[in-house]
Amino acid sequence: MEVGKSQYKDDCFFVWHPDTSWHPAFYAKVKETPLPATFMGESDCLDRLCIAMKAIRQGMKEQGKYLEKAPTSTS
């Protein structure tokens, strides 16, 4: 996965890891290189993250942004 490249126009991404020991390094990295608006969040609770992803996906579907293909670069 590369920042700024996705299959669908409205792709968004999340980060999950079962513990929190990585949080300081992650947030230090994000501070020096901000993530794009398509980053929706991180969690150490997979259940909570799945609920959030489902809600976001439903909201996108209601807005007509569900699985709309991204423009393809010709260069």
pLDDT digits (tens, 9 = 90+) for 31-61: 999 888 889 989 999 999 999 999 998 998 8
Q: What is the pLDDT of residue 74?
A: 47
**Is position 72 within any domain?**
no
- What pairs with residue 8 in β-bridges? 69
Residue 74 counted as domain residue: no
* Structural domain count, the chain: 1
pTM: predicted TM-score of the whole model, two decimal places = 0.64
| 20 touches 44 (CB < 8 A) | yes
**Burial class of residue 69, CB neighbours in 10 A (0-12, 13-18, 19+):** exposed
Three-state SS for 2? Answer: coil
Residue 54's domain comprises 13-62
Q: Would 73 be classed as within a structural domain?
A: no
What is the identity of the amino acid at 67?
L
